[in-house]
Structure 1
Amino acid sequence: MYLHSPSGQAQRNNPAPVFWRDPALPFVESRRACHSRACYRPHHHPTFSIGAVDCGTSVFTGAADGPIALHAGTLVFVPATRVHACNPTPGTAWSYQMLHLDTAWLAAIRQEYTGTAPTKAESIRIVANRASHLRFCRLNALLFSNAPPHDKEAALIEFIGDCDAEQGLRIETPSIPSHLAEQIRPALDCLLATPSTHIALDELAYLTGMSRYQVIRAFRTVTGMTPHAWQMNQRVNLARERIRGGDGFSDLAYHLGFSDQAHFQRVFKAHVGTTPGRFRS
């Protein structure tokens, strides 16, 4: 088990996040951050995430109607690939916890108790319920503890099943014209196939049969990001996976197309809220 968790007092005095991972439970990762002022760029990840605001206030971006204020005791459930960010209210610090769940594992668990596969895109949910927040805190404390893996998995499955019934504020998936998604598919496929290569906007326009302006607008509509921002986000997601696998930072920077290791460090921290070294610890 990989665990970097200082004592409670030391953690309260240190705003750097701490991470929990366990090879026996490869489908879940957790973090805690206390009195943090670190900010995230709008991003998405291939995991389902559950965030908890423990102290202070933060601002959630990712809703069509604009930013949403989050207060202590709030949980945020974010499906994979939804562009979002949660940052402290300007000029303040906040404390939070975050779980990342493998989507295939989560889908299998849900199908066990519902008996059906999902039929539509899942909404982001914001749940302001103190009892649910306290339950999440107990779950995360269990994950960070030395309890047996089967106890942790059982508690996680029970929490997911119970919280799936929570309503809260729902932020629906934006409606995307199917023809637009199909039109930019060649550009997305190109970026996915060559994550380390800088693909000029001219080339993406050629692949899609659009003008450069139309490509930017179409990417924003379909993915929530510009082409360049989408590619940077994809590189960071690949870096997270490879860091967990033990890859060195200089090799990662080179193979993922960053200009140097310093550039890689800056981009990674802007998306993940911490340095690659801290993420690995």
Structure 2
Amino acid sequence: METSSLWRHPDHPGIELLSARYTRFEFSRHWHDELAIGVIEAGAEGLDYRGDRLLIPEQHIVAINPAEVHTGFAGADQGWTYRMFYFDPQLLGQLLEHAGGPPLDPVIERPVIHDPALFTLLLALHRALEQPSLSLTRDTLLSQCLERLFRHHGQRSSTPTPALDRPAAQRVHDYLHDHWRSNVSLDTLETVTGASRFQLIRSFQASYGVTPHQFLLLLKVRHAKRSLAAGCSQLDTALACGFYDQSHFSRNFKRAFGVPPSHYRTG
């Protein structure tokens, strides 16, 4: 069965998202005004692009620059399942302006990319824009995806990574400890540290082994566990700990402890 869904997240109007499974459908020749980046979750997509017929298998990334004419069709008998991002070029320019180091040009060199780390980040970002997630989660994943995409696969892929800012990482660490109940934003952390979001994410991960949003979620689930142990209900715990909703709480609790909160036993 073929399925497809196209939408925009209200907090990220410069990004259009597509989630689809196609078996017989074929795109006619067309182009996008946006940068199109997609992850092939299953099967394979065929692509006519720049005079070549390409095959993008599962676990690979497809990248089509703005205004490039192309098609899309099943590259395997079972078709293909994929998730696409359509990034507004103006949004990309604004975000990459503060990436640090030599300027990054928002143009991708190759249409087929095999980069497991980037694939995982893009998939996580797409899901975070599809289901309830903290703003810090969405914004951190977006920054990580864009930096890796353009620093490793852009036209200036040899640009060096900017230096770390350990003091900024410490300030983020302390701020999140003091405000773990809140839905902290990257804008707030930029204000607190004076560092760009790219630099503070990079520096925090190098210092503590996780990104700021992962650290915030770990703080929330640790406090949630104590709340459940004290006899509080799942709903009250989810609200008190600042989760988006109960499903967001349950999903992240299970990721941390291996069981959903409903299966957590204290005695």
TM-score normalised by length of structure 2 = 0.51
When residues 121 and 140 of structure 1 are mapped into structure 2, their CA distance, relative to the original with a 3 A threshold, is closer
Among candidates 82, 87, 93, match of residue 107 of structure 1 = 93
Tell me how far 1:120 sits from its aligned partner: 9.6
Is 1:62 paired with 2:82? no
In structure 2, distance between residues paired with 1:120 and 1:147: 27
Matching residue of 1:88 = 74
Gaps of 5+ in 2: 156-267
Among candidates 13, 26, 29, match of residue 39 of structure 1 = 26
Gaps of 5+ in 1: 1-13, 171-281
Matching residue of 2:2 = 15
When residues 142 and 118 of structure 1 are mapped into structure 2, their CA distance, relative to the original with a 3 A threshold, is closer
In structure 2, distance between residues paired with 1:110 and 1:144: 24
Tell me how far 1:85 sits from its aligned partner: 2.1
Tell me how far 1:154 sits from its aligned partner: 2.6
Is 1:48 paired with 2:12? no
Letter in 1 for 2:112: I
Letter in 2 for 1:141: R
Among candidates 117, 135, 147, match of residue 121 of structure 2 = 135
When residues 36 and 21 of structure 1 are mapped into structure 2, their CA distance, relative to the original with a 3 A threshold, is farther
Kept in 2: contact 1:74–1:127 (CA 8 A): yes
In structure 2, distance between residues paired with 1:165 and 1:80: 18
In structure 2, distance between residues paired with 1:143 and 1:122: 23
In structure 2, distance between residues paired with 1:21 and 1:119: 24
Tell me how far 1:126 sits from its aligned partner: 1.6
Kept in 1: contact 2:22–2:74 (CA 8 A): no
RMSD: 2.7
In structure 2, distance between residues paired with 1:169 and 1:28: 19
Matching residue of 2:151 = 165
In structure 1, distance between residues paired with 2:93 and 2:106: 13
SS for the counterpart of 2:28 is coil
Letter in 2 for 1:148: L
Kept in 1: contact 2:38–2:63 (CA 8 A): yes
1:194-234 CA distance string (max 9 Å, x none): xxxxxxxxxxxxxxxxxxxxxxxxxxxxxxxxxxxxxxxxx
Matches within 5 A, 1:1-281: 14-64=1-51, 66-89=52-75, 92-114=78-100, 122-166=108-152
In structure 1, distance between residues paired with 2:122 and 2:139: 14
In structure 2, distance between residues paired with 1:91 and 1:22: 33
SS for the counterpart of 1:53 is strand
The structure whose Rg is larger is 2
Tell me how far 1:150 sits from its aligned partner: 4.4
Kept in 2: contact 1:25–1:153 (CA 8 A): no
TM-score normalised by length of structure 1 = 0.49
Tell me how far 1:137 sits from its aligned partner: 1.4
Tell me how far 1:147 sits from its aligned partner: 1.0
SS for the counterpart of 1:67 is strand
In structure 2, distance between residues paired with 1:109 and 1:55: 30
Kept in 2: contact 1:21–1:30 (CA 8 A): yes
1:112-155 CA distance string (max 9 Å, x none): 11466667965343212333222221111111111134431231
Matching residue of 2:250 = none
Identity of aligned residues (%): 16
Tell me how far 1:27 sits from its aligned partner: 0.8
Aligned pair count reads: 155
Kept in 2: contact 1:43–1:85 (CA 8 A): yes
1:231-280 CA distance string (max 9 Å, x none): xxxxxxxxxxxxxxxxxxxxxxxxxxxxxxxxxxxxxxxxxxxxxxxxxx
When residues 72 and 154 of structure 1 are mapped into structure 2, their CA distance, relative to the original with a 3 A threshold, is same
**Larger RCO: 1 or 2 (CA < 8 Å, sep 6+):** 1
